Amino acid sequence: MERIVVGVDSSPGSAAALAWALKLAAETGAELEAVYAWELSYAWIDGYAPDIERWSHETEVAARERLDAAIDGVLGGQPHYTEIRRTVVEGQPAKALLDRSKEADLLVVGSRGRGGFTGVLLGSGSQQCVHHSRVPVVVVPEPE
């Protein structure tokens, strides 16, 4: 195994997926790429034209900070010997993960089940990855 891509989104399920992928990368010597996707949500107010370039830049900076915080949260200050490539991309999360994982050996995502069957159902992003990935996908359940 040479390359693992893991989706990160600041959720508990994502943290579990990142921890799992980090452990596997350490055991196999694989390169680990943590991917955080962000989308700009547009809200228009009559008579107000937002500065989209500034807004986009600020959103990307915030996404980088969230990715760093998520990785730091999983590492917990412990030493690790696996290089983690940090990738922040604009776009729909499942599509971004599918694109980044095309040349990977494995895609790792967290599960965020909804409703009364939490932990049994996949979140929509995880489900899209499972159904459309060109590489094997591991869905790590959200911790209880």
pLDDT tens across the length of the chain (144 residues): 999 999 999 888 899 999 999 999 999 999 999 999 998 766 666 666 667 788 889 889 999 999 999 999 999 877 777 889 999 999 999 999 999 999 999 999 998 744 344 444 446 788 889 989 999 999 998 877
Write out the two tokens for 107: 């895609």
Q: What is the pTM of this model?
A: 0.85
CATH code of residue 134: 3.40.50.620
What residue numbers bound the domain in which 39 lies?
Answer: 3-140
If one counts the domains in the chain, the total is 1
3-state helix, strand, coil in the chain (%, to 5): 40, 20, 35
